[in-house]
Structure 1
Amino acid sequence: MKKMLFLIVALIAGLGAGGGTAYAMVKMLGIGGGAPQQEAKKEEKEEAGKFVPTGKVLVPLVFADGRLAGYASMDVQLEVEEAKAEFVTQRMPLLLHAINMRTYRTPMAAGPDGMLPDLEGFRKLVDASATEAFGPKIVRKVAVTGANPA
């Protein structure tokens, strides 16, 4: 009789501890619960910005030794807060100027013939140019959406 009572008490204690642990994991860490994930998606939507196109950007593809390999036409989108979209659009000529002043001295020619642009290098160049043209923390992300030889 004592053995049976001990087993029942141990079973109830084990279920209580396991249930308590599961409940704590869901509440504290958001594991397995749908509500925290939905809240995270809601926050992402609120934080999502607006993409502002730069238009076509003609980029010289320069080798590391300074020789010109050719040109590429790039399509770029800038993610900004929705409230800053008008400001960025109005100052777009300053961004294009800053890009032009950097591209001719930045090696971006890749591939055996130099006709492949270094997209990551170009993205970083546009990001630095955007900081110069618009100020820090205005542009959240730079997306290179197209690259074609010109």
Structure 2
Amino acid sequence: MKAAFLIPLLLVAGVGLGGGTAFGVHQLLPSPATAATAPVKAAPVFVPTGKILAPLVSTTGRLSGYVSFEVQLETEESDAAFVTARLPLLLDAINMRTFRAPMASGPDGMLPDLAVFRKLVTASASEAFGMNKVRRVVIMQATPA
């Protein structure tokens, strides 16, 4: 009598455990159809801005000199033409910010603070192109002018 009761009980327990495991795996892992429809990230495109001439202003507001930057903007391929067409707006936004941003560093004030300039260009890019059009600002070169 004991064996007749134990076999159906083990069968029901096995089906319950197997079903619970299958449900848990289905919830945690994406199905192949979902994985196939996942969006593919577009390759980044770098848009050069050309030379940007900026004043080196100290924290006291004194003009130390000028520096020439070469900058590239990382964006998606679909936004590259939009960003390129609106580069004059970016340069205008940079010019309106640089005289207020203390970028001069070093003992003689002739070294630019690249972190300040990168933040300045990022804020200018958001103003000129809108939010999330430019992923990253890459400073290629900084040369005293």
TM-score (norm 2): 0.72
The equivalences for 1:55-70 within 5 A come to 55-70=50-65
Render the CA deviation track for 1:12-61: whole Å, top value 9, x for unaligned: xxxxxxxxxxxxxxxx9xxxxxxxxxxxxxx6xx4431000000000100
Higher radius of gyration, 1 or 2 = 2
Aligned-residue identity in percent: 64
Q: Does 1:111 align with 2:106?
A: yes
Aligned residues between the structures: 107
Q: Does 1:140 align with 2:135?
A: yes
By how many angstroms is 1:124 displaced? 0.5
What do you get for the CA RMSD once the two structures are aligned?
A: 1.2
**Aligned residue type for 2:104:** A
Q: Does 1:125 align with 2:120?
A: yes
Q: Which has the higher helix share?
A: 1
Instruction: Structure 1: state its 5+ residue gaps.
Output: 1-27, 29-42
1:96 is matched with which residue? 91
> SS at 1:54's partner residue?
strand
By how many angstroms is 1:121 displaced? 0.6
- Segments ≥4 residues shifted beyond 4 Å: none
**Aligned residue type for 1:130:** A
TM-score (norm 1): 0.69
> SS at 1:147's partner residue?
strand
> SS at 2:71's partner residue?
strand
- Give the Cα–Cα distance (whole angstroms) in 2 for the partners of residues 144 and 122 of structure 1: 9
- Give the Cα–Cα distance (whole angstroms) in 2 for the partners of residues 142 and 96 of structure 1: 14
